[in-house]
Amino acid sequence: MYLVRFRIVAPRPPIAASEAFALRVALEGAVLTRHGVEHVRVHTSRSGGVGVLFLRAPDPAEAHAYGLALCAEMLAGVPQLCDWHVVGL
């Protein structure tokens, strides 16, 4: 299992309370249903959020790429968050 750290960046900070809630709900709901995801945690901030994923993968590079792709896919699927982007840490 590997730990993948990420940052989610809002295009126009500071974010609204409704955006912070949407981010937490969408990430925790969408990502936890995916294969290989053991745990997810996200903390919102004025500029978006930071989080970690615990993923089962063959190696750290694959875990990192998969984790960032999952986050990007989740953001694209939520109209309120579709212009946000994810950055690996």
- Per the prediction, the chain carries an average pLDDT of 91
Share of the chain above pLDDT 70, in %: 100
Q: Give pLDDT tens digits for 64-74.
A: 999 999 999 99
Give residue limits of the domains in the chain: 2-88
The C-alpha torsion from 28 through 33 and 36 to 41, rounded to 10°, is 10
pLDDT of residue 29: 82
Q: Give pLDDT tens digits for 39-48.
A: 999 999 999 9
Note the CATH number of domain 2-88: 3.30.70.100
pLDDT of residue 60: 96
State how far the Cα of 75 lies from the Cα of 19, in Å rounded to an integer: 11
